Amino acid sequence: MGLCVIGDSMLYTALPACFMDIGLDAQTTGAILSVNRFARLLFNPAAAVVLLRLGQKRTAVVAACLAVFTTMGYSFVTTPAAWLTLRVLWGLSWSLIRLTAFVVTLSEVRETRRGEALGGMQRLVRLGSLAGAFGGGFLLDLVGFRSTARILGTLTCVAVLLSLVRTKTPRRADFWLQASTLFKTSATSSETGLACVLVCIALGGGDRRCIHIHRGCIA
């Protein structure tokens, strides 16, 4: 997760400092830096559908590839429309990454260690953000914006290799049992419960498996 966010974090420090050099204005820069967050509101339910159809491993690979594509793309795009498209794709990538990370935690970490695992996940994200923001600004002064994006895009390729390490995907029946358990044990955590909520939204609230999860939450 940390490697996937370095390109996004780099933009928040580098783009305001050099937007005129790459042919953007202040208003467009603001839209570029914020559109991915609005896109995630739409993509979160879609991410649940993708996860159910592709499984954890393939979803992680798709998300990491999108992160590489968008970060590398920052070094080539020139028009506002292309910039906005890349940022929307990054919103999709982050929705997939975030939801997959929650489900992996649900699948592989025992109940008594889930809080620690989720904390570790957040630490990785924050370290990646720090590396992208600090390293991006440093590289910007040394080699310029386009080269900085290429360097960070190359580093993000490592995330694709790491996403291939996953070898086990739980059966769908197991997934729903695990989702119910997580929802029950973390009903007070919007961060953790988000994974189960999004899956239910994707399938529709009347699905009997969603009802099972809901009952587990309120039991």
For 110, phi then psi, to 5°, come to: -70, 160
Q: How confident is the model over 135-150, as pLDDT tens digits?
A: 999 999 999 999 999 9
What is the third-level CATH fold of 6-168?
A: Growth Hormone; Chain: A; (1.20.1250)
Please state the separation of Cα 200 from the chain's center in Å. Answer: 19
CA distance 46 to 140: 35
Q: Which residues contact 117 (CB under 8 A, 6 or more apart)?
A: 105, 109
pLDDT of residue 48 exceeding 80, the answer is yes
Query: Of the spans 46-50, 116-120, 200-204, 210-214, which averages the highest pLDDT?
Result: 46-50
CA distance 127 to 129: 5
CA distance 196 to 103: 9
Type of residue numbered 116: E
8-state DSSP, 1:
-
Q: How confident is the model over 186-219, as pLDDT tens digits?
A: 344 444 445 454 455 444 444 444 444 444 443 3
Total-model pTM: 0.75
